[in-house]
Structure 1
């Protein structure tokens, strides 16, 4: 018997279309809040509205079958919004308990309405709707891959989703600017460097592990511009069940980026951009919907910015254009995103490494860009993704997505490794070229049904990721420079050591099955899942095969949410993942060596408290995974295990009218265990601060309408640079200040923004790079930076 036949009896008249949780604060609050529900089928519109309102809606599918809705957008009370959607439908809303509603025909008496248990329907997010929490900086819902989009209160993970409104108001240029809001995330490569890299809960996160609408590897590898982004989802801990294997093995957490979509209101905005000390540019954002019921949508974002940066002899040019197209049908939702991003940097900053036994230099003594002016980084990425969903029936949905990217990269650089306490280092120029081709796809199905009093959301998916890359390069004659007094050397001319060309093919494939069971009127949600994973890697150097591998593993996962009250959720999760082994980086003596895949494990428990306008998440976690380090001979080694355990607190919302808060803190105990001979057992892991804390505040000044003052503090605790814990970086703080002013000029909406990052112009070592694939190095802070922009709506 086929699955559709088996479950068909469960989709007859008494099916529930419900989103959200009963009895949340919004169900009781008659005040208005902002909603954005796209046009489409009436069932879909009601589902989205109920999810955004945080109430449950029970309905006989026969009542809404074949009916359409024009959607709604604006500020509504919950029942007012329902009545707007139901206008002209011949249906009426009937309360069915606290935070719960049902529908019936207007001709029938209200006391004849039949209350049904609810189940949860979540799509993959094609045609993403805005769902901002109070204050507009954080979205209530985030993309959880296999499990679809869910409200944070019914999610068994620590997840924060930052909105495009927050990114624009903070003048975020790249992902590094966006993650500066999160206490568990830190940037571990210099601003104005060749690439961006991050640390989540003390483990490295690479740009190649950032998903685009749930697809890995589609976004640019080295830097990701934020002007094309609708939402940034940051999920803490291994996410193997949700999205499959991350291409570069990130286990501390993951990032998903959702593309922009055209809203029902026409949009034409131009933002003039300026960053000190001379980067000017502009960003154009245009969105339109057209066709019957505004079924089709187009969204174009185009960007160009160039000029000198805060560093000596450094300039940066970035260009990007992304076109998004989507279709909203009664049962079908489609989207296509195509983009191009280019980034050129001259005078690229480098991490600073130390020879064994040297003291950590005082960052305050570093006043200049110590990279040679002839260094550069050229990155060009062309990418695209096609997604679709189809409602086979009222309780079955199938979906699929394919993505691709082609990247061309050209670098001229040199390492900076100090050889003495006076700051001396050798300059060995190195040219490096890389070409990448990525193809990725996922297909899946989701079903909602009941077995007695237990509701089920069944998810199935197949994922496949293919990466092919070719590396070439060469080293040039060396020179000598100094960290404190850099020496400008002639541009490289004589090749001393050409690289053997390397070709590598990686295939990551998996199949996943998960069931979310709901008990006790959806107050208890239990997710059980498993993912079957396979990692295949083949590589050749100079045409000669190198050792590869073909590994398989089964990774179980469990998540539990208990809505103890309307405002409080308790949760826990256990996740395992198989991760592709590290590849020794270009600066290591065993460059190109591929290590075997490894398993990672996370156990987390936590609580989420939603006060309606202000929310907190508190979590206790433990993550275990094998450890990598670079030895005294500059060989990358795998040795022992790193165990990161800690507590984390996240805060967001608008606790007072006109006052918004965003931030939190993390306490981290990152310990080395099972090291060779036990020599480093019990010592702290590299690049893992004991304390991280963030606090951002916005205040709408009552005396001047439209004026908002902003401030942010970022604290990072001390951290070690080496596995023996002999080289230590001091703790640091950064302070940012800003203001924005929204006004009308004629019939034009105008927003002026100005901010100063690192307002005290402090110089410090911002991070010790977690040594996975490259030599350990220190990241120097970015000098005081002025950001100014003006957005005009036409």
Structure 2
């Protein structure tokens, strides 16, 4: 029996060529010079020459012959961009004294001739198509990425990055039928999505035991998180190419926040060639969606390129009454305005109109769930959530040659929200329901300027990146937290959501208006110390200013230093050991007995592990152990005066609270065998109090409603032979039992949710895919709260049929 799990680089290249050839017209399937002369995308990091050449040959689909003696002790500056194969060889071999000579069946490595040496010295740089991005996952068909930038701003492969990095690719998003950011987080290793604790359309995200407070858009930090009552962070994935996640403290690129993770959502970019996709889907609960995604060059020289994505969705929810209508319009233009310079401008409009509100339940007084049907809603038919997000962005990139480039990026986002939702009170047998009404008028902007590239020092190639960033967030929230003077009596087993009429809210009852400004100077450098050892060091200096615009007070942090250090040691061409020490900070408003502002909460992440990169980067794997310490948490200072002078608080505070999180993570992602893509990840996290105002908390779980054990996996396989038009796959997410941090009697047992999908490719243009979610119709809670509310069901079994046509 043939063993499909054993493959060599040559077998991978041959299999890939055969698979590509099988889907092409016969004339194109031949190994002709015309085919090999096409532009191809490469993302090969700096390092030892031999593995770089092997990776290049596999990606290009060409045969290269050389001996170990030719490449021994030779390095390369790497290759990133879109090149012709001959030009790629020239760039990769620059300074090595070698050249790739064309022979009948491929290429052979030989010492560079005098004529070729002269030509290299005077030749112009290889022409690249600037619309292409070597980090792009769209069109690769892969469940892994060649590189990521979120950790350090430098384009490093996952193996070169001394932190835990996951990338949710466009292929995964499409195969699993993921629609929202909530869906994405549920499928990323080590991340937790919970829904119901905060009202609204969005879930709450956590990692390594702490809430995630930072989301980046194309690498630009933006603020996120609930305002204490509701959460408006959700996003739809239709406009994004991939989602990069760096777990642990990531203050170098994010600024302030928790030592949990940074989520970087990377948008789709224009293409130089025509690319048009029409998608229609229909699913359970009257879920209908139409999408148009079109990209092309807009002039003959292909120096102006554009893309637009238009999407509309109309659907009911799995619980009664609720109905959603979602609209997207996204447009982006890229222009090569000068040699090596590209200007990008774009805009995104998203409108969500929910009528009927969102589901959440109270429990019995003993914490046991009410076990209501999953279709139940205890809200009112007049509940609604109307949200409009408008975003504009711009980027100017200048490539200077020899790998150096500078980039200016800016984003401005407006978020308007109008909502009424139901909340609960009372106790078993005497539950009550009231309405809360809020409006939100938020704005935030983010700017970043950075420059970076390779340099030589002591005969070795290194890389550096430096920059400045600034973000501003203006929040204007106001509303009524108890619209009815007398709450409604609630019988959860006999509730009519249409019985009550909409009350009149007093929007002057509560308000919060604030402005946050954060500025940072950052820099990082990757030093190639020896052939196997590279070291990354960096730091960020931050200025943080928060102002309450109503009371005109606030707090500031000046020149907070956030260090970064990591090392990667290559055991061989496949495996590397790594270790890192990273930090992040979060300002706090509490004061001590002297009236001084407490020092910021600091999060420190210690991490070590091993990474593997197989089959030329087609498959990546990592195993990490970590310890995260969050220190300087505000603790009640009962030894000081009461009340605390100048504050009105019962006691002052002191910065001595500490939470420590320990755990491990494992992930493998990419192509296991030709046609078989998969990703699987396991995370164990145990976050406990080390010191706290309440001595009884010490040694207890910090947030027990977060799972300690998680396993997530998804896969897709293209059937062989005559069945190759079919692709089948599935997914599973599982976690251990948890209990509420507000009331230990409210619990959720461990569970697993399984999904399946199958797709059929009719021809080069038309495909059909069926996704079945929660195949075994598991009843579970996607979020637990307290006895008075915040408990929310996960969706029952459902199916979606998607038809896609590519012009």
TM over 0.5: yes
Equivalence map 1:622-701=2 (5 Å): 622-625=627-630, 640-686=657-703, 687-701=705-719
Equivalence map 1:56-205=2 (5 Å): 56=49, 76-77=61-62, 85=83, 102-103=98-99, 110=112, 127-129=132-134, 136-144=142-150, 146-190=152-196, 193-205=200-212
- Specify which of 566, 577, 581 is matched with residue 574 of structure 1: 581
- C-alpha distance in 2 between matches for 1:404 and 1:761: 42
- C-alpha distance in 2 between matches for 1:354 and 1:536: 41
- C-alpha distance in 2 between matches for 1:179 and 1:94: 37
- C-alpha distance in 1 between matches for 2:517 and 2:186: 32
Equivalence for 1:610: 613
TM-score (structure 2 length as normaliser): 0.79
Quote how far apart the aligned CAs of 1:275 are: 2.6
2:234 paired with 1:227: no
Change over 3 Å in CA distance of 1:639–1:262 after alignment to 2: same
- C-alpha distance in 1 between matches for 2:315 and 2:88: 60
1:567-626 Cα shifts (integer Å, max 9, x gaps)? 10111111111124499xxxxxxxxxx998421111111111223254321111111226
Stretch of structure 1 that moved more, 303-312 or 345-354: 345-354
- C-alpha distance in 2 between matches for 1:350 and 1:90: 55
Change over 3 Å in CA distance of 1:691–1:582 after alignment to 2: farther
Change over 3 Å in CA distance of 1:673–1:776 after alignment to 2: farther
- C-alpha distance in 1 between matches for 2:51 and 2:797: 55
Quote how far apart the aligned CAs of 1:640 are: 3.6
Secondary structure in 2 matching 1:168: helix
2:797 paired with 1:791: no
Quote how far apart the aligned CAs of 1:96 are: 9.4
Change over 3 Å in CA distance of 1:629–1:354 after alignment to 2: farther
- C-alpha distance in 2 between matches for 1:350 and 1:691: 26
Change over 3 Å in CA distance of 1:552–1:46 after alignment to 2: farther
Equivalence for 1:558: 565
Stretch of structure 1 that moved more, 731-740 or 25-34: 25-34
- C-alpha distance in 1 between matches for 2:289 and 2:210: 35
- C-alpha distance in 1 between matches for 2:584 and 2:691: 20
Change over 3 Å in CA distance of 1:761–1:74 after alignment to 2: same
Equivalence for 1:325: 333
Equivalence for 1:299: 307
Secondary structure in 2 matching 1:143: coil
Report if aligned partners of 2:319, 2:375 keep a CA contact under 8 Å in 1: no
1:126-168 Cα shifts (integer Å, max 9, x gaps)? 7423565986122121222642322111111111112212212
1:436-494 Cα shifts (integer Å, max 9, x gaps)? 11121011221421221343312211110001121111231121324444343513324
Change over 3 Å in CA distance of 1:735–1:486 after alignment to 2: farther
Equivalence map 1:202-601=2 (5 Å): 202-205=209-212, 209-217=214-222, 221-245=232-256, 249-291=257-299, 293-328=301-336, 330-352=339-361, 358-361=366-369, 363=371, 367-392=375-400, 394=402, 396-416=404-424, 419-421=426-428, 425-474=431-480, 475-477=482-484, 478-488=487-497, 489-495=499-505, 498-521=508-531, 523-541=532-550, 544-581=551-588, 597-601=600-604
Structure number with greater Rg is: 2
Equivalence for 1:18: none
Report if aligned partners of 2:562, 2:583 keep a CA contact under 8 Å in 1: yes
Secondary structure in 2 matching 1:139: coil
- C-alpha distance in 1 between matches for 2:800 and 2:693: 48
2:636 paired with 1:620: no
Report if aligned partners of 2:554, 2:589 keep a CA contact under 8 Å in 1: no
Secondary structure in 1 matching 2:184: helix
Change over 3 Å in CA distance of 1:646–1:790 after alignment to 2: same
Stretch of structure 1 that moved more, 670-679 or 720-729: 720-729
Quote how far apart the aligned CAs of 1:776 are: 8.9
Quote how far apart the aligned CAs of 1:26 are: 6.0
1:55-75 Cα shifts (integer Å, max 9, x gaps)? 85999xxxxxxxxxxx99996
Report if aligned partners of 1:683, 1:723 keep a CA contact under 8 Å in 2: no
- C-alpha distance in 2 between matches for 1:755 and 1:52: 37
Change over 3 Å in CA distance of 1:319–1:580 after alignment to 2: farther
Secondary structure in 2 matching 1:679: helix
Quote how far apart the aligned CAs of 1:378 are: 0.8
Quote how far apart the aligned CAs of 1:719 are: 1.6
- Specify which of 758, 763, 769 is matched with residue 753 of structure 1: 769
Secondary structure in 2 matching 1:149: coil
Change over 3 Å in CA distance of 1:550–1:87 after alignment to 2: closer
Equivalence for 2:228: none
- C-alpha distance in 2 between matches for 1:326 and 1:741: 34
Secondary structure in 1 matching 2:44: helix
2:754 paired with 1:735: yes
Quote how far apart the aligned CAs of 1:52 are: 8.2
- C-alpha distance in 2 between matches for 1:618 and 1:170: 25
Report if aligned partners of 1:366, 1:484 keep a CA contact under 8 Å in 2: no
2:765 paired with 1:765: no
- C-alpha distance in 2 between matches for 1:188 and 1:629: 27
Stretch of structure 1 that moved more, 702-711 or 776-785: 776-785
Report if aligned partners of 2:99, 2:111 keep a CA contact under 8 Å in 1: no
TM-score (structure 1 length as normaliser): 0.80
1:614-654 Cα shifts (integer Å, max 9, x gaps)? 43211111112266999xxxx9x999433221111112122
Aligned length: 707
Secondary structure in 2 matching 1:216: strand
Quote how far apart the aligned CAs of 1:211 are: 1.0
Change over 3 Å in CA distance of 1:629–1:334 after alignment to 2: farther
Secondary structure in 1 matching 2:723: coil
Quote how far apart the aligned CAs of 1:292 are: 5.5
- C-alpha distance in 2 between matches for 1:94 and 1:390: 22
Stretch of structure 1 that moved more, 364-373 or 177-186: 364-373
Quote how far apart the aligned CAs of 1:262 are: 2.3
Equivalence for 1:589: none
Report if aligned partners of 1:434, 1:471 keep a CA contact under 8 Å in 2: yes
Alignment gaps of 5+ in structure 2: 1-6, 21-37, 66-78, 103-109, 121-127, 225-230, 591-596, 637-649
Stretch of structure 1 that moved more, 170-179 or 25-34: 25-34
Secondary structure in 2 matching 1:165: helix
Change over 3 Å in CA distance of 1:148–1:511 after alignment to 2: same
Report if aligned partners of 2:515, 2:549 keep a CA contact under 8 Å in 1: no
Change over 3 Å in CA distance of 1:629–1:306 after alignment to 2: farther
